[in-house]
Structures are given as C-alpha cells and as structure tokens.
C-alpha cells in the first residue's frame, strides 16, 4: 500500500491488544497499516513479557518496526495458572474470567509507561481492556475501541438486548425475529451463557456490562471490516448507538514488507504439501477451529470419520494439548495420500490464499471469516463459542458466502455426526450449493480489495477519522 501524508504531524499511536492470538493478530495488521499509510508515524505496542516474542516475530517484516513496551502480568492470581499470559495457553475457557479480570492490575504499570511517551495521538485498546479508558482520560488521550467483532454481531447483540428478545422464546431452539431486521431469525442457542438465560446474572455478565460502559465513554469503535460487507448494520449502529463505528479494514489485506526473509527460510511441511496438491490439480479443504475451541474426543472422532469418507483432500489443524487435541491411531496413515493433520501453528492467511485451497471448515471467528472473504474461499460454518454463532448466521444467511454444518438434532449447538460432515464437505467442495457460495465469496473478496485500495471506502474512512481526531486535538490545545 502506498504511503500518504498524515492527517496531522508527528503521529504517535499506542496499540494495546488483549492477550489472545485472535485479538492480537489483527492489531498487528493495524500497526502495519498505520506505518504504511503515514510516513513518520510512530507506533508503540503494549504487551506482557511472554507475548513479546510473538509480536516481534510477527512484525519482523516491518522496516520501521514499532516499539514494544512490556508490562508485567499479575502473578499468583487464583484461577490463572502460573506463567500463563495468553488465553490460548489456558487449560480451558473456564479460566477466562479470572484471567481477563487480572489485567486490571496492570493499570498502574500501564499509566506509568504511557506517561513517559511523547505526543500520543490516540490509543487503540481491546474491548476486554475497558479499564484503559480511565487511563486514557486521565492523560487526555482519545481511546479507540477494538472489539474484534462484525458489525452484524455487534448490532444484533445491541438490538436483542435492548428489546429483551431472549426472554420470549419458550425453548432454546425456538426461532425469534430480530426487531428492525425481520429477515434475521435467531434462537437462544445463538448466544452463550449467561446471555441466553431469561434473567441473566453473574460475574460474567457483570464483566461484560463493565466493558460496555467503558466503551460508551470511548472516542469510537474501529472495525476490521469494510462498509460494503455490512452496510445496514453499520448505518443502524451509527444512527442509534454510541460511540460511532468506523470500518477501516480488512487489515489482513495490508501487504507485508518484503525483506527477503521468506526466500531464506525453508517452507514448512504443510506448505510443501499444499504445493504438491496444487501441482497435481487437487482442491483442498482447510479445517481449523481456532486456538480456543474445546472439542470432545467423541466429536473429534466423528470429524475424522466424516473427512475420511468424504474423499476430499484436506489440511486439518488440531489444537495442540488440551481436550480434543488428537485423532485416533491409524487415521493419518489411512488418509495420508489426501489428508494432512497439523499440530503446530500455521499461517492461516497463507493457507487460505494458496491456489489449492477451495473451502474452509471453520468455527467462524471474525478473523477467520474476514480472511476467508479476502482469499475468496467459501466457508463451511461450524460455530463453537462467543459470537461465532452470530457470525455463522451472517456468513450463511446474510452475505451467503458459506454453508452451515448440520447437527444431529437441528440445534445450533447440537452434536455433529460423521454423516453430516461427509455430506456437507462434499456439498461445499463439489455441490451446487458450494458453487453458489464460492461465486459470492469471489465477489465480496473483490469488494474487500477495492475498499482497502486508495480511494476505497476503508481508505477514505481512515483519512476522515485521522482528520477528526487531529481537529479535536488542535481544538484542545
């Protein structure tokens, strides 16, 4: 992406991602965008000691690398294993609440380090770090919120909550219509506990309310999305909700700065395998459920059987360690000619952009949805947690770039049998339904590239946001 002059001089931006790979990766792409778009922009990233290596390695391609400031992560926290500083290292997501609550103890260190920086223009911090709004306000710095969600999911959650729609259905699987968006029909099972309860209470709800209040006091939301993808939901939010949301993505389209490092490094085995499939004209299904999904051994066996019987070529990334981390003995030997199981980190964007990859069996985390759209790869949606069920609704029913995995009982959270895996993999890779969603993904992928190009909607939104913040800073001086 070509550089352009900043909307205001001597720009210094602080980025503070939540300590989770899915939240950190897009913020690092944002760092590339800031450095690439504005000559002379200084970027400082706050993190913890155990997360620094991942950040530094991820930005090793950036010529003008951001500064990285380490803040000590609180120790001896009940419910947080010693040495764990990222949610993908937690034994299970039952430890999430004590982990995220512990970050509040980082505030004194954050404010001390922030106070030593010069001319900070604004802070971008994660939804789960709502306490940073107090720090930013104390130092007179605008705080921009990044929540890692689609505008569809954010808006639907707002409307469902305001209208108490989850209190109406008699069962968890009864469909209800979303106020103002009558084409959207959801169930309680599209929401996690405690939000899917008629009268939700508890510490998890208290934490989310706390973040909503903090966000309402922030300067704006920034979304890793583009206006043309979800215009109705962006427009509704900006007419009826606060603070305003700006679509300035997808950030995964920001090109890395080539330093010749790729040519010097050996291709990982999974990439060599994909190259072989492309050379022989084979289409590949990419299978990945993120770093935090907990899949039972029984469900894992059904996935394996379904993939084997589908006769599709597949690259399957399984979570290393924890529940659902391995497949039965003999499986890999039986499918070795057309399937590969990977237990290490893979560059998902490199996988999705590979010539051989024609489908993505995904949990529908927003990063994965955006990356699949940008790569023009259709999705087989199998949501697991958080707002992934809403993203799956959007993918399959709204923008129609994917098919939905079928559950045994028809419920959004039901068990999936191998027969459904086989059927839906075949449909995505070979069927008429797969061809239709592939065409839609192709069109939206082109629209994403146009949005991020000079003169596109995201490019211009970024310029307007910079102008607005710059004018506010000038008025306050």
Examine residue 2 and state whether it is found in any structural domain, yes or no. no
Which pLDDT does position 394 carry in this prediction?
98
Q: Are residues 251 and 337 in the same domain?
A: no
Token reading at 150 = 């689609």
Q: Are residues 364 and 463 in the same domain?
A: no
Span 57-85, average pLDDT: 92
Which pLDDT does position 320 carry in this prediction?
64
Q: What is the DSSP letter of 395?
A: I
Which pLDDT does position 476 carry in this prediction?
66
Q: Are residues 278 and 201 in the same domain?
A: no
| Alpha carbons 450 and 430: distance in angstroms, whole number | 29
Q: Are residues 330 and 386 in the same domain?
A: yes
Q: Which domain holds residue 156?
A: 12-256+451-476
Span 229-256, average pLDDT: 95
Which pLDDT does position 292 carry in this prediction?
78
Q: Are residues 223 and 270 in the same domain?
A: no
Token reading at 116 = 């030593």
Span 331-341, average pLDDT: 92
Given a cut of 60, is residue 138 above it in pLDDT? yes
**Contacts for 465-471 with beta carbons within 8 Å, 24 or more apart?**
465/220, 465/222, 465/246, 465/248, 466/6, 466/7, 466/8, 466/11, 466/38, 467/7, 469/7, 469/8, 469/121, 469/122, 469/142, 469/219, 470/7, 470/8, 470/121
**What is the residue whose two structure tokens read 């529908």?**
364
Do 317 and 287 meet the contact criterion of CB atoms below 8 Å apart? yes
Q: Are residues 171 and 57 in the same domain?
A: yes
| Alpha carbons 303 and 314: distance in angstroms, whole number | 12
Examine residue 57 and state whether it is found in any structural domain, yes or no. yes
Q: Are residues 440 and 358 in the same domain?
A: yes
Token reading at 255 = 């090109």
Examine residue 118 and state whether it is found in any structural domain, yes or no. yes
Q: Are residues 224 and 332 in the same domain?
A: no
Given a cut of 50, is residue 5 above it in pLDDT? no
Given a cut of 90, is residue 49 above it in pLDDT? yes
**How confident is residue 265, by pLDDT bands cut at 50, 70 and 90?**
low
Given a cut of 80, is residue 6 above it in pLDDT? no
More confident residue, 248 or 258: 248
Q: What is the DSSP letter of 66?
A: P
Token reading at 335 = 């499918």
Given a cut of 70, is residue 446 above it in pLDDT? yes
Span 75-88, average pLDDT: 94
Examine residue 72 and state whether it is found in any structural domain, yes or no. yes
Given a cut of 90, is residue 117 above it in pLDDT? yes
Q: Are residues 71 and 219 in the same domain?
A: yes
CATH code at 72? 3.40.50.2000
Do 359 and 428 meet the contact criterion of CB atoms below 8 Å apart? yes
Which pLDDT does position 199 carry in this prediction?
81
State pLDDT tens for residues 296-323. 999 999 999 999 999 999 999 997 654 4
Q: Are residues 398 and 468 in the same domain?
A: no
Given a cut of 50, is residue 3 above it in pLDDT? no
Examine residue 1 and state whether it is found in any structural domain, yes or no. no
Span 38-46, average pLDDT: 86
| Total tally of structural domains belonging to the chain | 2
> Nearest-CA neighbor of 138 among 116, 115, 120?
115
Q: Are residues 295 and 245 in the same domain?
A: no
Examine residue 3 and state whether it is found in any structural domain, yes or no. no
**How confident is residue 257, by pLDDT bands cut at 50, 70 and 90?**
low
H-run or E-run covering 49: helix 49-58
| Alpha carbons 377 and 259: distance in angstroms, whole number | 28
Span 450-458, average pLDDT: 96
Examine residue 369 and state whether it is found in any structural domain, yes or no. yes
> Nearest-CA neighbor of 249 among 234, 261, 236?
234
pTM for the structure as a whole: 0.92
Span 384-405, average pLDDT: 96
The average confidence (pLDDT) of the chain is 91
Q: Are residues 19 and 119 in the same domain?
A: yes
Given a cut of 90, is residue 37 above it in pLDDT? no
C-alpha to C-alpha distances, 403 to 69, 234, 347, 361, nearest whole angstrom: 43, 24, 24, 10
Which pLDDT does position 201 carry in this prediction?
87
Q: How much is the CA Rg of the chain, to the nearest whole Å?
A: 22
Given a cut of 80, is residue 9 above it in pLDDT? no
Phi then psi dihedrals of residue 69, to 5 deg: -110, 125
Which pLDDT does position 259 carry in this prediction?
46
Least confident of 132-136, 411-415, 456-460: 411-415
Examine residue 306 and state whether it is found in any structural domain, yes or no. yes
Which pLDDT does position 106 carry in this prediction?
97
């Amino acid at each position: 992406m070509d550089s352009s002059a900043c909307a205001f001089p001597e720009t210094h931006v602080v980025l503070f991602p939540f300590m989770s790979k899915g939240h950190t990766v897009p913020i690092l792409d944002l760092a590339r965008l800031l450095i690439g778009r504005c000559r002379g922009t200084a970027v400082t990233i706050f993190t913890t000691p155990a997360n620094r290596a991942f950040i530094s390695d991820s930005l090793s391609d950036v010529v003008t690398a951001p500064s990285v400031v380490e803040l000590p992560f609180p120790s001896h926290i009940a419910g947080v294993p010693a040495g764990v500083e990222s949610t993908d290292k937690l034994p299970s997501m039952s430890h999430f609440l004590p982990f995220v609550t512990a970050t509040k103890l980082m505030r004194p260190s954050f404010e001390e380090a922030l106070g030593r920086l010069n001319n900070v223009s604004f802070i971008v911090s994660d939804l789960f770090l709502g306490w940073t709004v107090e720090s930013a306000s104390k130092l007179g710095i605008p705080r921009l919120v990044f929540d890692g969600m689609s505008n569809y999911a954010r808006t639907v959650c707002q409307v469902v909550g305001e209208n108490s729609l989850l209190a109406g259905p008699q069962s968890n699987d009864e469909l209800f219509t979303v106020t103002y968006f009558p084409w959207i029909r959801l169930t309680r099972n599209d929401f996690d506990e405690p939000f899917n309860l008629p009268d939700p209470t508890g510490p998890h709800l208290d934490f989310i309310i706390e973040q909503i209040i903090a966000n309402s006091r922030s300067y704006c939301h920034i979304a890793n999305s583009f206006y043309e993808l979800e215009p109705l939901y962006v427009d509704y939010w900006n007419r009826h909700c606060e603070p305003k949301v700006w679509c300035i993505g997808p950030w995964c389209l920001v090109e890395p700065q080539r330093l010749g490092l790729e040519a010097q490094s050996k291709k990982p085995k999974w990439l060599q395998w994909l190259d072989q499939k492309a050379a022989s004209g084979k289409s590949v299904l990419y299978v990945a459920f993120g770093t935090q999904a907990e899949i039972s051994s029984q469900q894992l066996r059904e996935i394996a059987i379904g993939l084997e019987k589908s006769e599709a070529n597949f690259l399957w990334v399984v979570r290393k360690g924890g529940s659902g981390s391995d497949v039965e003995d003999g499986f890999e030997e039986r499918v070795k000619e057309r399937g590969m199981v990977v237990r290490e980190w893979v560059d998902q964007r490199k996988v999705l952009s590979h010539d051989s990859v024609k489908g993505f069996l995904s949990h529908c985390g927003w990063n994965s949805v955006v990356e699949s759209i940008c790569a023009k790869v259709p999705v087989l949606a199998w949501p697991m947690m958080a707002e992934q069920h809403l993203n799956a609704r959007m993918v399959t029913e709204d923008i129609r770039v994917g098919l939905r995995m079928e559950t045994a009982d028809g419920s959004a959270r039901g068990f999936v049998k191998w027969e459904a895996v086989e059927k839906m993999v075949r449909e995505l890779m070979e069927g008429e339904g797969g061809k239709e969603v592939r065409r839609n993904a192709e069109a939206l992928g082109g629209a994403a590239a146009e949005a991020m190009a000079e003169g596109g909607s995201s490019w211009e939104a970024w310029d307007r946001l910079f102008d607005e913040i710059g004018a506010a800073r000038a008025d306050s001086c």
